[in-house]
Amino acid sequence: MKEYKIVFSGTAGAGKTTAIAAISEVEVVATDVANTDATLQKATTTVGLDFGLITVEGGSRVRLFGTPGQARFDFMWRILATDALGVVLLIDNSRPDPLADLEVYLAGFAEAIARVPCVIGVGRHETHPEPGIDAFAQRLEQRGLVLPVLPVDVRRRDDVLLLIDTLIAQAESGLAESTA
């Protein structure tokens, strides 16, 4: 039996806990406290880790970790992303500057992104279409990165599955790369 992990990170309120709950076979263990940040329109916020679990054939387990969104917890991001199957970055497009938010997470996960699959899900895009999905791709290109960028609504399980499928596809592609 082996243990693997997938890390969900991104801005506070972007839906990390919701995304994990959509696919976890156990009730998500959420380490929430009352939210005292007036800029966040939610009652609670994650200050530890969210934890979910998927058990696969053979008894191996894939642990799903949701990181706190605030940048002061970036030390946790780096630790969690080590040896992860992949990282899902969720961006809330209703925030004042989603592209700047993206930059924060690209910097915080820079070491991991160089080694493990990463997919970016942009939430609340239907109600807040600016910046467009292509603007995220352009920002990634400016940083020399080619990463999948998808509009998602993590309240829909199919959208979360699409993020996971995209992560797996990246991983499979990297495993299959020709050697020089």
Partner 1 sequence: MDLVLGLHGLPGAEVALVKTILRLSSTLQASWSVTESLVCDLLLLGETREQVAVAAGTLIVPVLGRGEPADGGAVLRRPIRAEELLDLLNAVAARRPAARARPTRGASPVPPAPAAATPATALAGTSARLKRWPTWSMLNGNVAYLRIATTLSKASHTPQRVSELSGVPLEACEAFMRKLDAHQLLVWEGKPAPRAQADAARTGLFASLRSKLGIRL
Using rule CB under 8 A, residue 172 touches partner 1: yes
Q: Which is nearer to partner 1, 12 or 147 (CB)?
A: 147
User: Which tokens sit at 55?
Assistant: 């058990």
Kindly indicate which of the ranges 32-40, 45-53, 76-84, 123-131 contains the residues binding partner 1, using the contact rule CB under 8 A.
123-131
The least distance separating partner 1 from the CB of residue 134, rounded to whole angstroms, comes to 5
Which of 23, 81, 84, 88: binder of partner 1 (CB under 8 A)?
A: 23
Q: Which residues of 97-135 are buried (b: 16+ CB within 10 A; e: fewer)?
A: ebeebbebbbebbeebbeebbbbbbbbbbeeeeebeeee
Using rule CB under 8 A, residue 110 touches partner 1: no
Which of 15, 52, 66, 117: binder of partner 1 (CB under 8 A)?
A: 117
- Distant-in-sequence contacts of 130-133, Cβ < 8 A, 24+ apart: 130/93, 131/93, 131/98, 131/99
Cβ atoms 84, 112 nearer than 8 A: yes
Site for partner 1 in 77-106 (CB under 8 A): 85
Which of 33, 60, 79, 97: binder of partner 1 (CB under 8 A)?
A: 60
